[in-house]
């Protein structure tokens, strides 16, 4: 009995009961597509985490005005504000305390960018020193970042988000051109590379801290935040205490008052995202395992029915010389082909879903050839595992009893 | 012909009993039978006489409880199931009352099947199956499914499948039981032709017409041989 003729027989009997075969495959289809989605989701979440980490920059602590419990309002008048003095205090902590650099960030609201003919409101306008761009890993598709020299020269230069640049100047033509920000002329030096859709800041614009303070925000404007670059990754934790102490001193907070500022390590928040992704993956793995098991049981069930239906055929085959292995091979092949067909359908379904997810989230939910091989392997294994018992049952029928069966 | 060397079937004091609803049924109570090469033997008897049990034992589908059975010189008692399958495949060509063709396979594929289990090559299989189908006069119907063939044609496919391995014996169990009178005559004539060509034929039947076609009739009664005689057909032979 050649493998080819065994395969041909299996395909023929599966085709003979098409509806039943398709219904049987359903569980396998769902199971295998879950396996594919599982892999895709793994890729997508790690891509998402990486892109966020990249956007946030590494080893960055951000200080915001207002204490941890300040969201309900402030007792006694003025909202706490961050100023240049606080930046100097943090810088004074120095490398010994884990601080490599500190950057003031201005964030004036509703800044209108205009070329005279076209205008838009920047999604977010940040005024920060050149070092801040490096620390937060801002990358450029055209032109380049402004420099420290621009900071000290109070140069009116600006970098634009990719969407803002296209809307104002058309694709690829922004660098070197001029625009006005709230009426003050700036020269475009760079266009930022597009970021993940969820970061939503492709209409953002950034200019040096000095130029923003002098021309847009005003000399007395409070800082939106202070970005602290720590010396090492672990320093984002160890530098918290010295920074807080320095800030309390510079803000002259009495010992009985709580902090009127807060420190965030945004990379740490990603840990939460990662946990959610892990739960999602576990759920998908559960769905995959459950539906593969249920699907496998379905295959086993239908194979048992098939064995009973074809008892006479088994008798004939045995009478004319089929050995046990021939019968086992025949029914096992049928179960495996059934599962493999379901597996292929599941892969197609899974890849389609992954492509839709990629389009919807902007994160590449890629599925490599390894995952497809895994899915095919799983299908074959399910067919082997759940087909073995029915096939063995068929093979151990006595020819004389099987021939008597109607 | 009796007494010649190397009988195809050599049964000695074969016994078989079944437990049926707490009762012991003695289906065969010591049957001794020789069938020589080239013989055409009909085994006859009323239902319950044990002829089906005898057919199953002779066909290696069932095992005797006691006695000795040499098939074409090979002792077939105490063989494993797989060994028996191989023995059936090589030595016996079955023809059943209900034709017993694989319904989803064409005539040609049905005839190829025993060769496939004997691990014959693809070309060899095809050539021999085509030859066998030509022998039974179905050269034009090779690609038909059993459902597209008449009862007589299906039985001829079954006969082609029985002879394709060139077995030591053709074992036919009520081969005309499901056929009408004219096709019965066809099938009987075909078995006769095969015997004329030198094949050993053993047919189990209760149909006298089929029995009369044989050279020898063995009559069973109550699990034992009651009569063993040559027929008129022998007298006709030169």
Whether residue B213 has pLDDT greater than 90: no
Query: Containing domain of residue A290, as a range?
Result: 3-53+271-404
pLDDT on residue B1: 44
Whether residue A83 has pLDDT greater than 60: yes
pLDDT on residue A201: 62
**Poorest-pLDDT segment among A97-106, A326-335, A358-367:** A358-367
pLDDT on residue A71: 52
Whether residue A397 sits in one domain with residue A302: yes
Whole-number Å distance between alpha carbons of A269 and A274 = 9
The DSSP line for A286-354 is HHHHHHHHHHHHHHHHHHHHHHHHTHHHHHHHHHTT--HHHHHHHHHHHHHHHHHHHHHHHHHHHHHHH
* Residue boundaries of the structural domains of chain B: 38-53+90-236
CB contact under 8 A, A403 and B96: yes
Our CA angle for A345, A306, A388, nearest 5°, is 75
pLDDT on residue A337: 94
Where does a domain end: A265, A285, A314? A265
CB contact under 8 A, A1 and B117: yes
Whether residue A67 sits in one domain with residue A46: no
> Strand, coil or helix: what is A49?
helix
Whether residue A53 has pLDDT greater than 90: no
The DSSP line for A347-378 is HHHHHHHHHHHHHHHSS-----HHHHHHHHHH
Whole-number Å distance between alpha carbons of A31 and A24 = 12
Whether residue B211 has pLDDT greater than 80: yes
To which H or E segment does residue A392 belong? helix A369-395
Whether residue A243 sits in one domain with residue A148: yes
**Poorest-pLDDT segment among A220-224, B1-5, B149-153, B213-217:** B1-5
B171 to chain A: which residues are within 8 Å by CB? none
* Mean pLDDT comparison of A84-98, A227-241, A261-275, highest-scoring range: A84-98
Whole-number Å distance between alpha carbons of A63 and A261 = 7
Comparing CA positions, the residue from B173, B151, B236 lying closest to residue B43 is B173
Average pLDDT over residues B17-23: 86
Whether residue A124 has pLDDT greater than 80: yes
Average pLDDT over residues A46-57: 70
CB contact under 8 A, B102 and A317: yes
CA atoms within 13 A on the CB side of A253: 20
Average pLDDT over residues B90-117: 93
Whether residue A88 sits in one domain with residue A49: no
Whole-number Å distance between alpha carbons of B111 and B118 = 12
pLDDT on residue A197: 45
Average pLDDT over residues A353-377: 85
CA atoms within 13 A on the CB side of A141: 16
Whole-number Å distance between alpha carbons of A391 and A384 = 10
pLDDT on residue A283: 85
Whether residue A152 sits in one domain with residue A238: yes
To which H or E segment does residue A61 belong? strand A60-65
CB contact under 8 A, A321 and B100: no
CB contact under 8 A, B90 and A323: no
Which residue of chain B comes nearest to A15, CA vs CA? B104
CA distance B41 to chain A (A): 21
Mutate to test the interface with B, among A320, A322, A324, A399 (most CBs of B within 10 A): A320
Which residue of chain A comes nearest to B112, CA vs CA? A1
Average pLDDT over residues A84-95: 91
Would you say A386 and A336 are in contact if contact means Cβ atoms under 8 Å apart?
Answer: no
Whether residue A155 sits in one domain with residue A20: no
Where does a domain end: A265, A297, A322? A265
pLDDT band at B41 (very low <50, low <70, confident <90, very high): very high
Whether residue A84 has pLDDT greater than 70: yes
Whether residue A328 sits in one domain with residue A378: yes
Whole-number Å distance between alpha carbons of A106 and A125 = 8
Whether residue A271 has pLDDT greater than 80: no
Whether residue A377 sits in one domain with residue A306: yes
Whether residue A134 has pLDDT greater than 90: no
CB contact under 8 A, B86 and A323: yes
Average pLDDT, chain A: 87
Whether residue A345 sits in one domain with residue A222: no
pLDDT on residue B179: 87
Average pLDDT over residues A123-139: 88
pLDDT band at B2 (very low <50, low <70, confident <90, very high): very low
Whether residue A2 has pLDDT greater than 80: no
Our CA angle for A235, A238, A243, nearest 5°, is 95
Average pLDDT over residues A119-127: 89
A330 to chain B: which residues are within 8 Å by CB? none
CB contact under 8 A, B117 and A317: yes
Which of A1, A16, A320 is closest, CB to CB, to B94?
A: A320
pLDDT on residue B166: 93
Whole-number Å distance between alpha carbons of B207 and B217 = 12
Total-model pTM: 0.70
Express each pLDDT in B56-78 by its tens digit.
999 999 989 999 999 999 999 88
CB contact under 8 A, B100 and A317: no
Q: Which two structure tokens, joined as six digits, stand for B62?
A: 């069932």
Which of B89, B103, B122 is closest, CB to CB, to A320?
A: B89
pLDDT on residue A287: 85
Percentage of residues in chain A having pLDDT higher than 90: 47
Which of B105, B119, B161 is closest, CB to CB, to A320?
A: B161
Q: Which two structure tokens, joined as six digits, stand for A269?
A: 């928040």
Average pLDDT, chain B: 90
Whether residue A211 sits in one domain with residue A166: yes
Whether residue A54 has pLDDT greater than 70: no
pLDDT on residue B78: 84
A325 to chain B: which residues are within 8 Å by CB? 82
DSSP secondary structure code for residue A189 in this structure: E
Whether residue A48 has pLDDT greater than 70: yes
Whether residue A188 sits in one domain with residue A284: no
Whether residue B238 has pLDDT greater than 70: no
The CATH topology of domain B38-53+90-236 is: Rossmann fold (3.40.50)
B88 to chain A: which residues are within 8 Å by CB? 319-321
pLDDT on residue A220: 87
pLDDT on residue A206: 93
Whether residue A389 has pLDDT greater than 90: yes
Which residue of chain B comes nearest to A4, CA vs CA? B122
pLDDT band at B235 (very low <50, low <70, confident <90, very high): low
Whether residue B237 has pLDDT greater than 70: no
Which residue of chain A comes nearest to B111, CA vs CA? A320
pLDDT on residue A391: 96
Question: How many residues are there in chain A?
Answer: 406
The DSSP line for B169-211 is EEEEESTTTTS-HHHHHHHHHHHHHHHHTT--EEEE-S-HHHH
**Poorest-pLDDT segment among A16-25, A343-352, B151-160:** A16-25
* Mean pLDDT comparison of A13-17, A247-251, A269-273, A278-282, highest-scoring range: A247-251
pLDDT on residue A297: 94
Q: Which two structure tokens, joined as six digits, stand for A375?
A: 């899915």
Q: How many domains does chain A have?
A: 2
pLDDT band at B232 (very low <50, low <70, confident <90, very high): low
Give the ipTM.
Answer: 0.92
Mutate to test the interface with B, among A6, A316, A405 (most CBs of B within 10 A): A316
Express each pLDDT in B177-195 by its tens digit.
888 888 888 889 999 999 9
Per-residue b/e over A344-379, b at no fewer than 16 CB within 10 Å?
bbbbebbbebbeebbeebbbebbbeeebbebbbebb
Where does a domain end: A250, A265, A280? A265
Which residue of chain B comes nearest to A323, CA vs CA? B82
pLDDT band at B171 (very low <50, low <70, confident <90, very high): very high
A1 to chain B: which residues are within 8 Å by CB? 116-117, 119
Express each pLDDT in A171-214 by its tens digit.
888 899 999 999 999 999 999 887 654 445 678 899 999 999 99
Whether residue B3 has pLDDT greater than 80: no
């Amino acid at each position: 009995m050649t493998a080819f003729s065994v395969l041909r027989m299996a395909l023929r009997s599966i085709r003979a009961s098409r509806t039943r075969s398709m219904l049987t495959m359903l569980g396998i289809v769902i199971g295998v597509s879950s396996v594919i989605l599982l892999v895709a989701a793994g890729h997508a979440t790690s891509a998402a985490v990486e892109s966020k980490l990249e956007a946030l920059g590494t080893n960055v602590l951000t200080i915001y005005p207002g204490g941890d419990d300040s969201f309900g309002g402030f007792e006694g008048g003025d909202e706490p504000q961050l100023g240049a003095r606080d930046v100097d205090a943090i810088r004074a902590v120095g490398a010994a305390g884990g601080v490599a650099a500190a950057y003031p960030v201005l964030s004036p609201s509703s800044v209108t960018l205009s070329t005279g003919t076209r205008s838009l409101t920047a999604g977010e306008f940040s005024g920060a020193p050149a070092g801040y761009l490096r620390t937060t890993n801002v990358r450029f598709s055209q032109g380049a970042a402004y420099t420290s020299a621009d900071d000290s020269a109070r140069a009116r230069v600006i970098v634009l988000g990719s969407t803002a640049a296209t809307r104002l100047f058309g694709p690829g033509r922004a660098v070197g051109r001029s625009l006005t920000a709230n009426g003050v002329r700036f020269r475009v030096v760079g266009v930022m590379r597009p970021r993940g859709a969820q970061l939503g800041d492709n209409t953002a614009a950034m200019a040096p801290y000095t130029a923003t303070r002098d021309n847009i925000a005003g000399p007395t404007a409070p800082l939106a935040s202070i970005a602290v670059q720590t010396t090492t990754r672990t320093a984002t934790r160890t530098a918290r205490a010295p920074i807080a102490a320095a800030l309390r001193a510079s803000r002259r907070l009495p010992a009985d008052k709580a902090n009127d500022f807060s420190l965030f390590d945004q990379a740490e928040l990603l840990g939460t995202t990662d946990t959610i992704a892990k739960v999602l993956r576990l759920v998908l793995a559960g769905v995959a395992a459950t539906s593969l098991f249920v699907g496998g049981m379905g295959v086993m069930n239908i194979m048992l029915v098939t064995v009973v239906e074809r008892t006479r055929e088994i008798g004939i085959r045995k009478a004319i010389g089929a050995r046990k292995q021939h019968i086992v091979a025949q029914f096992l092949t049928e179960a495996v082909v059934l599962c493999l067909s379901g597996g292929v359908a599941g892969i197609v379904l899974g890849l389609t879903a992954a492509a839709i997810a990629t389009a919807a989230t902007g994160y590449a939910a890629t599925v490599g050839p390894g995952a497809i091989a895994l899915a095919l392997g799983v299908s074959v294994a399910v067919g082997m595992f759940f087909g073995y018992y029915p096939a063995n049952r068929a093979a151990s029928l006595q020819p004389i009893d099987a021939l008597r069966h109607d | 012909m009796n007494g010649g060397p190397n009988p195809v079937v050599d049964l000695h004091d074969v016994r078989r009993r079944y437990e049926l609803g707490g009762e012991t049924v003695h289906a065969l109570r010591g049957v001794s039978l020789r069938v020589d090469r080239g013989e055409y033997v009909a085994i006859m008897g009323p239902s319950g006489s044990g002829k089906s049990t005898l057919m199953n034992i002779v066909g290696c589908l069932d095992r005797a409880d006691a006695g000795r059975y040499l098939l074409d010189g090979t002792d077939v008692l105490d063989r494993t199931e797989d060994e028996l399958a191989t023995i059936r495949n090589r030595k016996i060509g079955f023809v059943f009352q209900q034709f017993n063709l694989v319904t989803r396979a064409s005539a040609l594929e049905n005839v190829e099947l025993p060769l496939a289990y004997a691990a014959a090559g693809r070309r060899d299989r095809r050539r021999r199956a085509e030859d066998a189908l030509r022998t039974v006069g179905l050269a034009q119907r090779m690609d038909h499914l059993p459902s597209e063939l008449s009862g007589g044609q299906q039985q001829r496919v079954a006969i082609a499948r029985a002879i394709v391995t060139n077995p030591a014996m053709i074992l036919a169990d009520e081969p005309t039981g499901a056929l009408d009178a004219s096709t019965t005559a066809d099938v009987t004539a075909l078995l006769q032709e095969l015997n004329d060509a030198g094949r050993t034929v053993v047919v189990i039947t209760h149909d006298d017409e089929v029995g009369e076609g044989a050279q020898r009739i063995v009559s069973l009664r109550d699990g034992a041989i009651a009569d063993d005689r040559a027929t008129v057909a022998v007298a006709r032979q030169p």
